[in-house]
Amino acid sequence: MTWTPPSLNTDGSTLSDAASYVVLYGLNVGSLTLSVPVPGGTSTSVTIPKLLAGTYYFSVVTLNSTGVQSSPSNPVSVTVP
């Protein structure tokens, strides 16, 4: 999975201190209960191994240098055959 790093905080100010990301995912768009941490604020991709067949939904949140989490991105779906 890849994403474009956000450029703004939720209050509209410029994001300048992204420390890491968390990819949230699951089989139900309303319940993204699984997560993968992505250390460092410069990575924009992660591989999630061993997904079983099905349609998965993914969203990304940003954590800043003080641990404050952004709102999740809009979910995207991927179907694994």
| CA torsion through residues 34, 3, 56, 75, sign | positive
Q: How far apart are CA 18 and CA 67, in angstroms?
A: 9
Domain residue ranges in the chain: 18-76
**For position 4, what pLDDT does the model report?**
85
Q: Please write the tens of the pLDDT for every residue from 11-27.
A: 777 777 889 999 999 99
- Does residue 47 have a pLDDT over 90? yes
